[in-house]
Each structure stands twice: as C-alpha cells, then as structure tokens.
Amino acid sequence: MKILVIEDDIETGAYVKGGLEEQGHVVDLAANGRDGLFLAAGETYDIMIIDRMLPGLDGLGIVKTVRGAGIKTPIIFLTTMVGVGDRVEGLEAGGDDYLVKPFAFAELSARVNALSRRPPMASVETVLRLADLTLDLIARKVRRGSQDIELQPREFRLLEYLMRNAGRVVTRTMLLENVWDFHFDPKTNIVETHMSRLRSKIDKGFEPELIETVRGAGYLLHAPP
C-alpha cells in the first residue's frame, strides 16, 4: 500500500516509516502540516497516518480540509491527547481511528491492516470544472479562463453547490438548506444578493454567461451550446 505519514517528531516519523517499509509499503513522510496537506491533496494514498499536533497546520485542520474536498482515504490519528473529548473531536473531524502515544508498532500495523480491508472508496475530484470555469476545493481558488477570481467564503460555497449540480435547476430552498444550513425561510433576499454578487464575478466580462435565472424555479449553472 501507499501510505502518507505526517509526523513532526523525527524519531517517531522514522520509526513508523521504517516499520511500514519493512512490511513492503511505500511511505511518504512529511514533517509539518503544510507539507503534509500538499502531499495529501496531490497524491493518492491508501492510508494516512497523521499526528494531531503539528507545526504550520495541525492534524485536525488537515483532516477537515481533505474531507471537505471529498478525499475519503482512511485516516489514523496519532496523539498524546488522551481525553475522550479529544478522541471524539478527531473522529468527528473525519478521522477513522485513533492511536495514543506511546504505542507499539504491532498495534499500529494491525490498525493499518484493518482499515485496508475496508471496501475501496470511489475516486473523487478535488477540482470542479465547467467550460472555462474551475474551482479548486483544496487550494480554495476559482479561475475563469486565465483570470483568478476572488470569492468570499459563502460565495465559494454557493459556487461549489452550483457546480456540483451543473445542468440542474436548483431552487431557493435548496440553496438555503445546502449553502446556508437554513431549514426555514429567513424572509430576506440573502440568496438573491449573493447570487448577484457571484454572477458579477463569474459572468461579467466573460462569454458565455454560465449562471441563468430560471423564472419561477431557481437557478441553473450550465454552459450554453
């Protein structure tokens, strides 16, 4: 298997990497959170082993980012944090297993093997595309043609939802529930205001226009023929 280890402690990282390689695995080792996230986003791994406390970007941040991008690779947390709340926080962030330091390599190996027996996940895209519009879920960047487009977090989430539903009409209710997490009508023009801002950034000055208002129904993101 191809395994990513993100561990800032030099001795622990070498110990885990060496043990896994002795078992025939291919192992990439990153010593900080940012390098680890770069590898996690750019390579395909069968398992990730991530320390909770890392310089640059902590383990929770890495896991939340990769899960938010749709990457479903099984993840084992390594940590010195022994509280139940800490374990729950790690699992709720998207971790699959939790191993407290110090640990025996035999136990880590058994957990790796257990996760590897799970049915394989379907591959997922981390970059969404429609015509000349691209949305990078890891880098959190949007580009149309050769031009970078700056979006606010809510605008980014709105565009992501539209792109995941490209070619389908999405209603105001669907947007309120999936972009704003509202399960009621706030009786404001929040959707219309954000959609107007998004269109001014995505469509203004570009051809063709990609966002269409479907009267009486909602909005449609599509590339006209």
Domains of the chain: 2-116 (3.40.50.2300), 127-221 (1.10.10.10)
CA distances in angstroms from 66 to 37, 70, 98, listed in the order given:
8, 6, 17
Q: In what order do the strands lie in the sheet with 169-170?
A: 169-170, 218-221, 211-214
pLDDT tens, N- to C-terminus, the chain (225 residues): 899 999 999 999 999 999 999 999 999 999 999 999 999 988 889 999 999 889 888 888 999 898 888 888 899 998 887 667 777 777 788 888 888 888 889 999 999 988 887 765 545 567 899 999 999 988 889 999 989 999 998 999 999 999 989 999 999 899 988 888 887 778 888 999 999 999 999 999 898 999 999 988 899 999 877
Burial class (CB in 10 A: 0-12, 13-18, 19+), 45: buried
